Structures are given as structure tokens and as C-alpha cells.
């Protein structure tokens, strides 16, 4: 038989392939759609019969379930002619590779597994040892292992510029709509366009820029995965992004990735690890000459220390962050990707720290400064700062003011698909229990119930 003979045999047995084949194909497409969150047409079925194996596991299993339902017996992927994708180890991407070529291969497999909805990775937990290994390996690295391109496709500056501009576009979408909005589209772009370039040939100069762009794009994939709540997958992207950055010799880029790892570790409650990651970022860039970056590293350390309740050390880190920030000159700062770290962003970080230290008045002052008279342009950042302000008002006993501010945040959150936003709402929900069944709380809950983030089942779907 040509094409997928196994599938054709099963469809014929199940009565989907009769004299009028087109009708049977449409019926089978509808049957398959009932077992998936996607809609299939008879065109899809023709492709499967011709031998095309669906790339994502959900589709493959939906086909098998449609046949199982009609035949009244279990049908596995082997019987359908859809061999299950090769086993993906839960450890994939956690180790910091010795060679750049290993990282290229690993990140490629991560992209593939991600797009295949491989449960092993999508549900994988984070691993504390992976943070420690990656930060230490990067910190002591003393040579740069830039790959020598030998592929047939010649990569030039225009190709690199295309990767950079596309990454910038996805970065804007992330800030405006959250990591869950276009994350999959970014990974598809990386798997198809970026992967092809990494296998091409290029000069040393172009190669360095190519791998810098690859590191930044993979870093964005990590951030978006983290924001979408896929923490184990995000950690793996962070680790591989760090290796790609190391190969270019750009220490500030590598440090920015450790800085992002610190942010995730704090969010997950791994505060000591988070503080150490921020310190490693700072130690590895002591001679880099970037007050903006150093200020942010101190701010990340302070965020972790505030959650630990270490007031003295947190105050020290916050003071250092402010001191370094005041030294900065954005026009001369080599860390251009810290350009977003302005007065409003620093105020937001200090607001978080003071809230967590129990200094609600200071927290509300800094959060208000962060929000300012005009929107920052970063919708998700505005959401976070607004929720911190609401928390601070609650801690001051200003329940009515807190609820008014929180409703404003929930309105902002209607535009965002972000697991992190949900976490801020959950924290406010917990704080609100202190108010009890008061008229203010009842009125707020009634009005908030119309918003997506106040209904976790909607926000997480």
C-alpha cells in the first residue's frame, strides 16, 4: 500500500472508507476533532492517509481515540501507523553543555519537544542543581567556543537582523499580552528559521552576532515559558541560552540570563538560590562597566532577600541598587538590553521589596512612583506594580482604596495571558481574607467576579 496503509485499513474496518470516500473523510475528521481542542477537515485526513505523521502528540492520539471509539477496542499509535515520537528524557536541557555544538543540538530538541506538546517537558519541575551548575560553569568559563559554520546555507548580516527584529516583535507582544499569548508562535519560529541558520556557514564576526541573537531569542522563549507557568521548560531554555551567550564572549548578556533565572527562582520560592544567582551575575561582570545592569542585579538580590525576611541585607542590596542606578548613563551603557530599566522599573522593584518586608507605606509610595501619571507601555509591568499598590493599601488597613486599585489591575489583566499575573491575584485574594465578610470585600468580589483573572478556571485555560 502507498502512504499510511495501517491507517487506511483501520478506517476501512471502522466504516470511514467506503465507496464515497470524501464523505467518510469528513466524518472521520469530525470524529477526530471531538477528541482534540483543534478542528480538523477532510484535507488533514487525506494528508495522514498519504503518509504524513501529525507533528503534535495531541493530534496523533486524537486519531487513535476516534478509531478506538468506532471500533469499540483500544487502538494504539503503532497500529495507526503513527510511531510515537522518540522518548524525551526529563533531564533534557538541564545540564550545562561542555561544547556549544551540544547546546545547539539540545535546544533544537527542546523546540521540537515543546511543539510536540511533550508532557515530560511541559510538566517537568525545576531543578535547583541545574541553577547552581549553570551559574558556576558560566562564572569560571575562560574560553569561548564559537561554532564554525560548515553548512551549505551561507548566513549573512541580513539573516541575523531578521532574527533580531522578529525577536523584538515577540518581545513587544509578550510585554503587551503576556507569555501565553504568542509563545508557541515564537518557538515555531525558532525551530524553523533560527535552527536552519545555526546549521549554516558564516564568518567569525557573523557567527558571533548570530549566536548572540540566538541566545537572546532563546532567552525570550524562556521568559515567555516562565510567564506561562511552564517552569521546568523555562529553566531548560534559560540554561541553554546561557551556553549560547557564553560562546559569544558577551558577559553582560550571560549575566542578564542569570538575572532572569534569579527572578524565576524568587517566584518559585527558592530565595537563597535566587540571591546567589543574582550575585553570580554581578560577580561575573565586575569589570563590564554597566551601572544599569549592576543596579538590576542588586535589585534581584534584594527581591530574594525581602522574601527571606532578611531586612538588613535587603536594605543593603536596595541601597546598592539605587547607588548604581544613579551612576548610570543610558547613552554610554553597553548593556543595551537593560535600557527598559528606568526610574519606574526601579521604583517597582523597591515597591515589591518593601511590601515583602512589611513596610506598606514605603511600598505604596514606590508603587505609585512606578505607575506615574502616564502608562509605561509595558502592560504586564503596570499590572504587577498596581497589584503591589493594592497589597500595600490592604496592609495599611485601607481596604476600600485597595479594592479600587485591585479592580483597576484586573481590568488591565483582561489583556494578559500570564500565570504570573494569576499569582499576584491569588496573593491579593489571600490578603483580602483579613477583611472578612465586610461590605467592601463583598462589593469587590462581586465586581471582580466578572473579570478573567479573578476566575482561575478561566485565566488558566
Tell me the C-alpha distance between 222 and 256, whole Å.
12
Tell me the C-alpha distance between 181 and 199, whole Å.
29
Which of 350, 382, 377 lies closest to 366, judged by CA?
350
Tell me the C-alpha distance between 427 and 96, whole Å.
34
The alpha carbon torsion through 198, 199, 203, 206 (nearest 10 deg) reads -20
CA 156 to chain centre: 29
Residue 313 in contact with residue 306, Cβ under 8 Å? no
Q: What is the pLDDT of residue 20?
A: 54
Burial label for 22, CB within 10 Å (0-12, 13-18, 19+), is: exposed
Q: What is the pLDDT of residue 2?
A: 53
Q: What is the pLDDT of residue 83?
A: 67
Q: What is the pLDDT of residue 1?
A: 38
Per-residue confidence in pLDDT tens, the chain, 461 aa: 357 888 988 888 888 887 556 778 888 889 999 988 889 998 888 888 888 888 777 888 899 999 988 888 777 777 888 865 567 888 999 999 999 989 999 999 999 899 888 889 999 999 999 999 999 999 998 767 676 777 778 999 999 999 999 999 999 999 999 999 999 999 999 998 999 899 889 998 999 999 999 999 999 999 999 999 999 999 999 999 999 999 999 999 999 999 999 999 999 999 999 999 999 999 999 988 899 999 999 999 999 999 999 999 999 999 999 999 999 988 888 877 777 889 999 999 999 999 999 999 999 999 999 998 655 568 999 999 999 999 999 999 999 999 999 999 999 999 999 999 999 999 999 999 998 889 999 999 999 999 999 986 654 44
Q: Which residues contact 76 (CB under 8 A, 6 or more apart)?
A: 64
Q: What is the pLDDT of residue 460?
A: 47
Q: What is the pLDDT of residue 376?
A: 58
Helix, strand or coil, per DSSP, at residue 152: coil
* Composition of the chain by helix, strand, coil, percent to 5: 70, 0, 30
Q: What's the grid cell of residue 316?
A: 543593603
Residue with cell 527581591: 303
CA 415 to chain centre: 17
The model's pLDDT over 54-79, given as tens digits with 9 standing for 90+, comes to: 877 788 889 999 998 888 877 777 78
Tell me the C-alpha distance between 232 and 94, whole Å.
9
Q: What is the pLDDT of residue 192?
A: 87
Q: What's the grid cell of residue 361?
A: 507605606
Q: What's the grid cell of residue 250?
A: 558577551
Tell me the C-alpha distance between 225 and 180, whole Å.
8
The mean pLDDT value of the chain amounts to: 91
Burial label for 180, CB within 10 Å (0-12, 13-18, 19+), is: buried
The model's pLDDT over 234-259, given as tens digits with 9 standing for 90+, comes to: 999 999 999 999 999 999 999 999 99
Q: What's the grid cell of residue 18?
A: 467506503
pTM of the model as a whole: 0.82
Number of other residues whose CB lies within 10 A of the CB of residue 426: 14
The model's pLDDT over 381-413, given as tens digits with 9 standing for 90+, comes to: 999 999 999 999 999 999 999 999 999 999 999
Supply φ then ψ for residue 37, to 5 degrees: -90, 10
Residue 378 in contact with residue 175, Cβ under 8 Å? yes
Q: What is the pLDDT of residue 459?
A: 47
Tell me the C-alpha distance between 451 and 269, whole Å.
27
Q: What is the pLDDT of residue 461?
A: 44
| DSSP bridge partners of 154 | 201
Residue 240 in contact with residue 107, Cβ under 8 Å? yes
Amino acid at each position: 500500500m502507498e502512504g499510511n496503509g495501517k491507517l487506511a485499513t483501520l478506517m476501512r474496518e471502522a466504516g470511514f472508507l467506503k465507496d464515497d470516500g470524501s464523505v467518510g473523510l469528513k466524518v472521520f475528521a469530525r470524529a477526530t476533532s471531538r477528541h482534540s481542542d483543534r478542528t480538523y477537515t477532510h484535507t488533514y485526513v487525506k494528508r495522514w492517509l498519504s503518509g504524513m505523521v501529525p507533528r503534535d502528540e495531541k493530534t496523533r492520539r486524537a486519531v487513535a481515540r476516534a478509531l478506538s471509539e468506532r471500533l469499540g477496542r483500544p487502538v494504539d499509535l503503532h497500529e495507526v501507523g503513527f510511531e510515537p515520537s522518540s522518548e524525551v528524557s526529563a533531564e533534557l536541557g538541564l545540564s550545562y553543555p561542555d561544547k556549544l555544538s551540544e547546546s545547539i543540538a539540545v535546544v533544537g530538541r527542546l523546540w521540537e519537544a515543546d511543539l510536540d506538546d511533550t508532557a515530560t517537558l511541559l510538566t517537568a519541575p525545576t531543578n535547583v542543581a541545574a541553577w547552581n551548575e549553570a551559574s558556576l560553569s558560566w562564572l569560571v568559563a575562560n574560553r569561548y567556543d564559537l561554532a564554525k559554520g560548515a553548512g551549505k546555507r551561507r548566513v549573512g548580516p541580513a539573516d541575523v537582523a531578521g532574527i533580531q527584529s522578529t525577536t523584538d516583535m515577540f518581545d513587544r507582544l509578550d510585554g503587551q499580552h503576556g507569555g501565553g499569548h504568542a509563545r508557541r508562535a515564537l518557538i515555531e519560529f525558532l525551530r524553523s528559521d533560527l535552527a536552519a541558520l545555526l546549521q549554516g556557514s558564516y564568518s567569525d564576526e557573523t557567527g558571533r552576532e548570530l549566536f548572540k541573537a540566538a541566545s537572546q531569542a532563546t532567552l525570550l522563549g524562556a521568559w515567555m515559558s516562565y510567564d506561562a507557568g511552564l517552569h521546568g521548560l523555562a529553566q531548560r531554555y534559560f540554561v541553554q541560552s546561557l551556553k549560547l551567550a557564553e560562546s559569544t564572549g558577551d558577559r553582560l548578556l550571560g549575566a542578564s540570563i542569570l538575572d532572569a533565572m534569579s527572578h524565576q527562582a524568587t517566584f518559585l520560592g527558592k530565595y537563597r538560590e535566587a540571591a546567589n544567582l543574582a550575585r553570580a551575575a554581578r560577580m561575573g561582570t565586575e569589570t563590564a562597566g554597566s551601572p544599569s545592569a549592576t543596579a538590576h542585579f542588586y535589585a534581584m538580590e534584594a527581591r530574594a532577600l525581602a522574601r527571606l525576611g532578611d531586612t538588613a541585607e535587603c536594605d543593603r542590596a536596595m541601597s546598592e541598587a539605587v547607588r548604581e542606578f544613579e551612576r548610570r548613563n543610558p547613552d554610554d551603557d553597553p548593556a543595551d538590553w537593560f535600557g527598559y530599566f528606568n526610574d519606574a522599573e526601579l521604583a517597582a522593584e523597591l515597591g515589591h521589596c518593601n511590601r515583602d518586608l512589611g513596610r506598606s507605606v514605603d511600598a505604596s509610595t514606590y508603587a505609585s512612583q512606578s505607575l506615574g501619571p502616564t502608562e509605561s507601555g509595558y502592560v504586564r509591568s503596570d499590572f504587577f506594580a498596581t497589584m503591589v499598590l493594592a497589597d500595600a493599601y490592604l496592609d495599611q488597613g485601607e481596604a476600600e482604596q485597595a479594592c479600587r486599585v485591585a479592580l483597576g489591575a484586573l481590568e488591565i489583566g483582561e489583556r494578559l495571558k500570564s500565570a504570573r499575573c494569576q499569582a499576584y491575584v491569588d496573593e491579593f485574594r489571600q490578603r483580602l481574607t483579613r477583611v472578612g465578610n465586610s461590605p467592601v470585600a463583598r462589593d469587590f468580589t462581586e465586581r471582580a467576579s466578572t473579570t478573567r483573572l479573578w476566575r482561575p478556571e478561566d485565566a488558566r485555560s
